[in-house]
Amino acid sequence: MFKITFVIFLRILICSKTSLSAEIMESAKNEQYCGEKTVEKGFYYGTFPEGFKFGTATSAYQIEGAWNEDGKTENIWDRLVHQNSAVIADGSNGDIAADSYHKYKDDVKILKELGVEFYRFSLSWTRVLPKGDVSVISTEGIQYYNDLIDELLANGIMPMVTIYHWDLPQSLQDLGGWTNEIMAEYFEDFARVAFSNFGDRVKWWITLNEPWVQSVLGYDFGWDAPRLNLHGVGGYLSGHTMLKAHALAFHLYDKEFRPSQKGKIGITLESFWMEPKTSDPKDLEAAERALQFELGWFAHPIFSKNGDYPPLMKQIIGENSKKEGLKRSRLPSLSSKWIELLKGSSDFFGLNHYTSYLVEADENGQDPSWRRDTRCKTSVNPLWPETGSPWLKVVPWGFRKLLNWIKKEYNNPDVIVTENGVSDKGGLADKQRVAYITEYMNEMLKAIKLDGCNISAYTCWSLLDNFEWLGGYTQKFGIYSVDFDDPERRRTAKESAKAYSTIIKNNGFLKCQDI
Ligand code: GBH
């Protein structure tokens, strides 16, 4: 009783800024008398669990530039931007981008200034393997990543390396890219080169970034590179190969490298939160279908108890294929060997999350396609704040719901949020990004503290303004701006960088500082 009264007394004292001796202030801070475990007006004041890690991320094609330097050859994004610049919002490309190939020391400097514990970046496949296969290993390519990794470690920042973030060698695309199952083995070979050259210092590996995006946008919608309109077929083939590629790399690491290198390896999947548009059971089912067709497609084989593709996907695509007069499902089947290899093949659940959609049932889809198979239509609530990207609205509560769905669906896996962030049109006073990061991180904190979700790290996308794929340089995601008119590509902290730094320093949200 006395203790509680004392705590309340302290809280009143501190929060009303009554002068206290520095000593008491310090002890109050340490013991978190500033309001741990209180939710006020929907905001949770409290701190992240001990050991929780904060980082920030980029990807090779989006920041490196030096697209043809030191022996690097063409990848599928180089090909797309050079042959078809009209599909990029500002007709731009990643030829120079943030020039991180030459400016990586500047990147490490700002990472240090931010106070993050880790940095997630990706390897450019053709920079390391100019022929796509292992017949040539580029000394300069290996040197670049060695230098970056060493510079990070010298500054106390842990590298988290994504082996593949969408930039397949064009030479391998010419063999069919991810629709050709042999790609799984080429990927395994590339992963071996990565583990043997960098694994002595890299303890956090991500095999693939967002296989759903690469498969559906690249091989079904025909938007992103390689921009193939293989509706209803290409995306499923690509996803199938990417799953196998992941499993091969995981087991390669697990058997041959983990015993000596002792790191962790997993996959990064992306998902929107899918909110039923109405309480009509048809829309509830539609929202569940949408989640299974996006996240479940890749998560079910790896993280569920039974493995394999989600039963719902197998059933729907199988039925549709039959109706179309096909002999077999457009969704290839996983043999029991692959089901076993995939099951449990990830040390953590890497999650990229940005926004939410409203989902309703839709039976009017046209040609065989991923979209029609889902029998869903998505929309947004006009009240959700807009951002610099048409597809991205600010819906913080969707993050918490998604984290809870993952907890329930996959038995509360260890989730690492490998991307979360927002775009605008530029400027250093990025108030909307400050609010977005604060609110999304707060929903994540609620998922941990109030819902018992297992989440051990958070990664803000992105460290830098960069080449936003089809959006070119028109959509800025950085917490640091990059002056793309300056040959030096000077980096400057935005307000969001400072806000993120403060959250990291406080390990969460302390009430007193806001009052
Ligand atoms: C991430 O994907 C990527 O990993 C990262 O490279 C990227 O910079 C970041 O998002 C921000 O976009 O405009 O209609 O073509 C997140 C999932 C899926 C979001 C594809 C953008 C394109 C929609 N992305 N989507 S559209």
Mean pLDDT of the chain: 93
Query: What is the set of active-site residues?
Result: 419
- Report how many helices (DSSP H) and strands (DSSP E) the chain contains, helices first: 21, 16
pLDDT of residue 364: 82
- Give the residue, by CA position, lying nearest to ligand 1 atom 14: 391
Helix axes 139-154, 100-114, angle to 10 degrees: 20
Which residue has the least CA distance to atom 20 on ligand 1?
213
CA of 224 from ligand 1 middle (Å) equals 10
Query: What local confidence, expressed as pLDDT, does residue 37 receive?
Result: 52
pLDDT at 1 over 90: no
Contact (CB, 8 A) for 56 and 112: no
> What does the alpha-carbon distance between residue 474 and residue 239 come to, in Å, rounded to a whole number?
29
Q: For residue 137, how far is its CA from the centre of ligand 1 (angstroms)?
A: 30
Q: For residue 19, what pLDDT is reported?
A: 36
Q: Identify which of 220, 354, 387 to mutate to test ligand 1's pocket (most ligand atoms within 8 A of the CB).
A: 354
Q: How confident is the model at residue 206 (pLDDT cuts 50, 70, 90)?
A: very high
What is the model's pTM? 0.93
Average pLDDT over every residue of 449-475: 98
Of 391, 436, 467, 475, the one to substitute when testing ligand 1's pocket (max ligand atoms within 8 A of C-beta) is 391
Is 422:474 a contact under the CB 8 Å cutoff? no
The answer, yes or no, to whether residue 511 has pLDDT greater than 80, is no
pLDDT value at position 20?
36
Using pLDDT thresholds of 50, 70 and 90, give the confidence band for residue 2.
very low
Does the C-beta of 294 come closer than 6 Å to ligand 1? no
Cis peptide before 226 (omega within 30 of 0): yes
Q: Give the pLDDT of residue 50.
A: 96
Residue in 20, 33, 103, 25 with CA at minimum distance from that of residue 64 = 103
Instruction: Say yes or no: CB of residue 213 within 6 Å of ligand 1.
Output: yes
Provide the b/e sequence for 329-354 (b: ≥16 CB within 10 Å): bbbbebeeebbebbbebbbbbbbbbb
Cβ count within 10 A of residue 487 = 9
Separation between Cα atoms, residue 450 and residue 442, nearest integer Å: 11
* Any ligand 1 atom below 6 A from CB of 222: no
Please give the pLDDT value at position 11.
42
Give distance in angstroms: CA of 476 to centre of ligand 1. 12
E strand residue ranges, 185-232: 204-209
- How far, in Å, CA of 77 to CA of 67, rounded? 10
Q: How far is it, in rounded angstroms, from Cα 490 to Cα 476?
A: 15
- pLDDT 10s digits, 406-436: 999 999 999 999 999 999 999 999 999 999 9
Any atom of ligand 1 within 6 Å of the Cβ of 121: no
**pLDDT attached to residue 38:** 64
Residues 135-149 have pLDDT tens digits of: 999 999 999 999 999
**Cβ(512) – ligand 1 distance below 6 Å:** no
230-269 confidence digits (pLDDT tens): 999 999 999 999 999 999 999 999 999 999 999 999 999 9
Find the angle CA(440)-CA(446)-CA(447) to the nearest 5 degrees: 90
Q: How far apart are CA 299 and CA 506, in angstroms?
A: 33
| Phi, psi torsion values for 419, nearest 5 degrees | -160, 140
* pLDDT tier for residue 39 given thresholds of 50, 70 and 90: confident
Distance 324 CA to ligand 1 centre (A): 32
CA dihedral 43, 47, 49, 55 (to 10 degrees): 90
> Structure tokens of 397?
């509560």
Distance CA 214, CA 194 (A): 21
| Contact of 450 with 505, CB cutoff 8 Å | no
Residue whose tokens read 């962790």 = 264
